[in-house]
């Protein structure tokens, strides 16, 4: 993940995905992510675009492209992002 996306992550995703009390699946929590990952990356990107449960549409990154979201999701899942 490059510096631009790292900054986006810090602004738009970390406040929920690194805060267990938010109810969001936590970064690097394989048990939380594996059932969601089974849906496939495009479905997860679509899910962030639309919003889900307590997550607003686009997380907090209205300007993110699908590629940005895919890289951020890979980071959340704990795998190596492009």
Residues found near ligand HEC in the complex (CB under 6 A) = 12-13, 15-17, 22-25, 36, 44, 47-48, 52-56, 59-61, 64, 69, 72-73, 76
Q: Are the C-beta atoms of 27 and 17 separated by less than 8 Å?
A: yes
Q: Tokens 């699946």 identify what position? A: 25
Beta carbon nearer to ligand HEC, 53 or 82: 53
Structure tokens at 35: 């059932």
Q: Least distance to ligand HEC from the beta carbon of 77, Å?
A: 8
Closest CA to 23 of 52, 57, 65: 52
Q: Least distance to ligand HEC from the beta carbon of 47, Å?
A: 3
């Amino acid at each position: 993940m490059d510096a631009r996306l790292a900054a986006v992550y810090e602004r738009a995703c970390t406040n929920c995905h690194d805060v267990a009390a938010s109810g969001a699946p936590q970064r690097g929590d394989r048990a939380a992510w594996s059932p969601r990952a089974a849906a496939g990356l495009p479905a997860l990107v679509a899910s962030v675009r639309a919003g889900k449960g307590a997550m607003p549409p686009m997380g907090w990154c209205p300007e993110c492209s699908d590629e940005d979201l895919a890289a951020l999701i890979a980071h959340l899942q704990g795998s190596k992002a492009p």
